[in-house]
Structure 1
Amino acid sequence: MARSVAQAILEQLGLWGVKRIYGVVGDAVFGLIDALAKQTSISFIAVKHESVAAMMASAEAKVTGRLAVCISHMGPGLTNLITGLGDAYLDKVPVLAITGQVPLNKIGTTYKQYIDQQQLVQAVSSFSQMAVHPDAILESMTHAMYTSLLQRTVSHLSIPSDVFTMFTTMQPCEPPPVSVSSPDPLEIRHALDLLRSAKRPVLLVGSRARSAREPIRKLAEVWRCAIANSYGAVGIVPDSYPLMVSGLGEGGNPYLPELLERADVVLAVEASWPDKFITTSPALIQLVSHPSEFGTLRSASRRILGHTNSILENWIDGLSEYEPDPGWERQIRECKQAWAALNEKERNQNASPLSPSAIIQVMENHIPADAVIALDEGDSTLWFLRNFRAAQQNVLLSEHWRTMGFGLPAAMAAKCCLPEKQVVCITGDGGLAMVLADLITASRYGFLITVIVFQNGTLQMERDKMLMKGLQLQDTEIANPDFVKVSEACGWISYHAEHADQLANALLMSQNSSKPSLINVRTARIPHPDFLSHV
């Protein structure tokens, strides 16, 4: 049975579990947009800028682990996508980007907006192909989608605009089964022997370990190890857990590197080892569920690939007779207590404008334990990672690409995927300004999210780094609109907060709002402690 190429594309996406597509309408994808309008299985989320579409797709893939899709017009549409595709590529999540291309008879000419899209996108994708025959589209698409899922990466298809409306008799296919690698039993046993030999053990948890939350806690109970988060891995183990010593590296526990210098065995679960923070070389075991993560630990003594939960359960049983060192547990407690005392001192400040750490404390007291928190890139993120004592919140961030503007798109995508959860975006005024137009997208689709803006009129992190390097400040001051008025004009309910009680009240109001909420918090210009000693 013949169908249009665009219809066949949507049928195949539906078979592979795709629920929505993010993008901007352009004439090079009119055929696909028309097919979307004639069906109800897949939603189209129309954003104001293609970078937001790609960041939303990346965030969806991070939340669900499934393939996410974005589309754009050719040429400048694709160049705008690249910011978000870079995030998905470096953070290793499956995203498919479909872009239009000039009509078949204009390929290779001087036609407007024509460019070699495969060459353009190769730095942020593992697969990119132009498909030009209607009967080849689904085969190319299957290859692209399978590559994204199997390699946790970005794939890209460019399709000439006139091909979308051509007909094909090729049938959409369901996704092939993807098996999880079975680890070598001998490697599992050797790693267990290493765990048993530890006197000063540490468990380093990465952001991909969220599904292994329970076995991680069980392992810590029997191994009596310090638990540390790698960058951004907040909420997997509650901060209140006695053995949790918070984050390592930027925005982390400043006392933790000293503790890790004394460790003799480190188990890194879906985590990378931050060489620039640690100079010693303990025995290092890396446990990952995907081979692409092996490159993140160059000095691992043992590398284990397989189903994380089942391997951890195996080790839990094998450590049933492990005898922990009371002296090491005492050192863990001392590290945790020293950090808790400093954290509390930083947070308990009532001056106006509010200090970033005081803002974090109010947020912590009023954000539900199961909320999703989308972080933008910048100073506000470092303060969050340093001062927020997480319960089990799910935190989204641009971990490796670290692009400003990520917070709002990530929050909107999270609300699409988890409509029953409270979703909070934490951003600076610089980051929000980059995606300001898409405040309208949230109100248009009824995304009931809360955005908290750290508004201090400066690119604080860049200012601090320039001072740290002894450089002359240049244009770190930024001009802002009135975020409250702008967001209200976009259909939001908005608040301005200068004191802790105003912020707390706004957070409570936002939880029951019938519209998305923005809270503009006047924020003190305080250098982050990671830079303070140099400023």
Structure 2
Amino acid sequence: MARTVARVIVDALQELGVRHVFGVVGDALNPLTDAIRTTDGLDWVGCRHEEAAAFAAGAQSQLSGTLGVCMGTVGPGSVHLLNGLYDAAKSRTPVLAIAGQVPSAEMGSDYFQEVDNDMLFRDVAVFRATVTSVDQLPRMLESAVRSAVSERGVAVLTVPGDLGDRELADDRPARFPRARPVTRPDDAGIREAADLVNAADRVTLLVGRGARDARAQVLELAERLSAPMVLT
């Protein structure tokens, strides 16, 4: 059974473990908000302003270590996301923003409230794209999520209001990587760092995002060295 664009997006969010989508309802988002309404385990969190929605998505991402998701409708709705998305970008946390757009046949015609989202989000986003054909959706959604997660930044996917209810001719699930990449120095580098620490009389720890998943180990090291800690 073929799925609509809105259903493909919502199913993908569920697969990714997303539980909340923050935003302000608008016409271009109606298919998406309705798909969320009929989906168990995925809640729409209505905000009074799109800026607050973007800040909330970024905060949730930072606190949970997972992908934050927010939405803004055509024109001003999407523009209002900017401040919160800049905060997420500077905090290096993955956020997916789904932006509404005027009907696809009206794009480029200076239609009422039309904004060039790809240009608008150029500075803040590691990925930005506008869906112009329904069958582009799975691949574009994959690219948006992968970019946000791997580059720890903001991805903006723009969906024209008339495409949300359309069914995909080539319906396939969006596919996402399951394992998080792990970066570590080689054994020689770790040994050299340990020797430097052991040889020092007094040590102060500067702890950054690379130690995010090693809280217990960092605290144990600080206690063993009687070292004060500074966070980036």
> Could you say which TM-score interval applies, normalised by the shorter chain?
over 0.9
SS of residue paired to 1:200: coil
Aligned position for 2:159: 159
Contact 1:128 1:144 in 2 (8 A): yes
Aligned position for 2:86: 86
Aligned position for 2:63: 63
Aligned position for 1:205: 207
Aligned position for 1:330: none
Aligned position for 1:228: 229
* Separation in 2, partners of 1:182, 1:209: 11
* CA distances 1:310-334 after superposition (whole Å, capped 9, x unpaired): xxxxxxxxxxxxxxxxxxxxxxxxx
* Consecutive aligned runs of 4 or more in structure 1 exceeding 3 Å deviation: 205-211
Contact 2:129 2:157 in 1 (8 A): yes
Deviation at 1:178, TM superposition (A): 2.8
1:146 aligns to 2:149 (yes or no): no
Deviation at 1:132, TM superposition (A): 1.1
Question: Which letter maps to 1:204?
Answer: L
Deviation at 1:217, TM superposition (A): 2.6
Deviation at 1:31, TM superposition (A): 1.5
SS of residue paired to 1:126: strand
Gaps of 5+ in 2: none
Contact 1:15 1:174 in 2 (8 A): no
SS of residue paired to 1:122: coil
Summarize the Cα distance change of 1:212–1:178 in structure 2 as closer, same or farther, 3 Å threshold.
Answer: closer
Summarize the Cα distance change of 1:145–1:183 in structure 2 as closer, same or farther, 3 Å threshold.
Answer: same
Question: Which letter maps to 1:148?
Answer: A
Aligned position for 2:192: 190
Percentage identity across aligned positions? 36
* Separation in 1, partners of 2:91, 2:110: 36
Contact 1:118 1:129 in 2 (8 A): yes
Contact 1:70 1:96 in 2 (8 A): yes
Structural mapping, 1:270-309, within 5 Å: 271=232
Contact 2:222 2:229 in 1 (8 A): no
SS of residue paired to 1:48: coil
* CA distances 1:83-131 after superposition (whole Å, capped 9, x unpaired): 1101100000010000111111101002101121111111211110011
* CA distances 1:45-99 after superposition (whole Å, capped 9, x unpaired): 1111000100110010011000010011121111111111011000000100001
1:39 aligns to 2:33 (yes or no): no
Question: Which letter maps to 1:223?
Answer: L
* Separation in 1, partners of 2:171, 2:111: 30
SS of residue paired to 2:135: coil
* Separation in 2, partners of 1:208, 1:94: 15
Deviation at 1:173, TM superposition (A): 3.1
Aligned position for 2:8: 8
Gaps of 5+ in 1: 231-270, 272-535
SS of residue paired to 2:44: strand
Contact 2:141 2:174 in 1 (8 A): no
Deviation at 1:207, TM superposition (A): 6.9
SS of residue paired to 1:128: strand
Deviation at 1:196, TM superposition (A): 1.9
Question: Rg: which structure is higher?
Answer: 1
* Separation in 1, partners of 2:18, 2:219: 33
TM-score (norm 1): 0.42
* CA distances 1:280-338 after superposition (whole Å, capped 9, x unpaired): xxxxxxxxxxxxxxxxxxxxxxxxxxxxxxxxxxxxxxxxxxxxxxxxxxxxxxxxxxx
TM-score (norm 2): 0.93
Summarize the Cα distance change of 1:25–1:221 in structure 2 as closer, same or farther, 3 Å threshold.
Answer: closer
Aligned position for 1:171: 172
* CA distances 1:124-171 after superposition (whole Å, capped 9, x unpaired): 111100111111111101100011111111000001111111101322
Question: Which letter maps to 2:172?
Answer: Q
Q: In angstroms, what is the RMSD of aligned CA positions?
A: 1.6
Deviation at 1:224, TM superposition (A): 3.1
* CA distances 1:250-303 after superposition (whole Å, capped 9, x unpaired): xxxxxxxxxxxxxxxxxxxxx3xxxxxxxxxxxxxxxxxxxxxxxxxxxxxxxx
* Separation in 2, partners of 1:136, 1:125: 20
Contact 2:139 2:174 in 1 (8 A): no
Structural mapping, 1:98-497, within 5 Å: 98-168=98-168, 169-176=170-177, 177-206=179-208, 209=211, 211-225=213-227, 227-230=228-231, 271=232
Question: Which letter maps to 1:213?
Answer: R
